[in-house]
Amino acid sequence: MSSPAEFYNSLPPISKFYGTACLLATTAFHLGLYDVNHIALIYKYVFKYFQVWRLITNFFFLGKFSINFGIRLLMIARYGVQLEKGPFERRTADFLWMMIFGAFSLLVLSAIPIFWTPFLGISLVFMLLYVWSREFPNAQINIYGLVTLKAFYLPWAMLALDVIFGAPLVPDLLGIIAGHLYYFLTVLHPLATGKVILKTPLWVHKLVERWRIGAPAQPSSRAAAQPDRSTGVAFSGRSYRLNG
């Protein structure tokens, strides 16, 4: 059994950075080091007072220390890590681009008044969950030992749980929309037409190379490295439990 330090060091770079940043942001908030109103996504302050950092900082606050905070952090450690070590293995630039594209999509969606939310971190985590559920649609999920279902339906099950416990639905819905948009543009549309319309920009590849994060990219294409999604089968024999 690995120690906590060994487990942390084994995490892939992007998921590790994002999860750590979210944990530090909440810790700093509880220590009184900053006011969350100074990092929230408030478009008036972004455009009128040029507080452009809000476009980025709002993604790192998942809320106060609570059960919900722990669940969101666990989702990064589980679904983000499994994506980065599985479908995105040796494709750090592609995974980073997915996060950037997802964040940009969420910012655009949140500009619509009915979809506005001050912190989009939960939505970004939910986007990771959605993409994971599409990459591993037949993985068996056991929810608190009560219900077993295929991973394909997990985002909707989590949405239903939020309804039951009275949590806001907008962040989850935004994550589903952003996740589906990314998956449609990178997987479904190319499968249907043979054309890829959302490619990882060269500057993202150069950024990853400059920062020396992740393993060197494989020369083969994504399609050659991944199972045939048209069959809808991926890791069908594995089972995951939400309650550890």
Q: What per-residue confidence (pLDDT) applies to 216?
A: 63
Q: What is the pLDDT of residues 69-126, one digit of tens each?
A: 999 999 999 999 999 999 999 999 999 999 999 999 999 999 999 999 999 999 999 9
Please report the pLDDT score of residue 217 as a whole number.
63
Residue owning tokens 């890791």:
235
**Among 136, 30, 121, residue whose Cα is nearest residue 78:** 136
Letter for the amino acid at 100? I
How confident is residue 1, by pLDDT bands cut at 50, 70 and 90? Answer: low
Position 218 confidence tier, pLDDT thresholds 50, 70, 90: low
Q: CATH number, domain at 41?
A: 1.20.1540.10
How many domains, the chain? 1
Cα–Cα distance between 66 and 45 in angstroms, integer?
A: 29
State the average pLDDT over residues 185-193: 95
| Residue ranges making up the domain that contains 207 | 4-241
The per-residue pLDDT for range 117-133, each reduced to its tens digit, is 999 999 999 999 999 99
Look at residues 211, 226, 225 and name the one whose alpha carbon lies nearest to residue 93. 211
DSSP state of 135: H
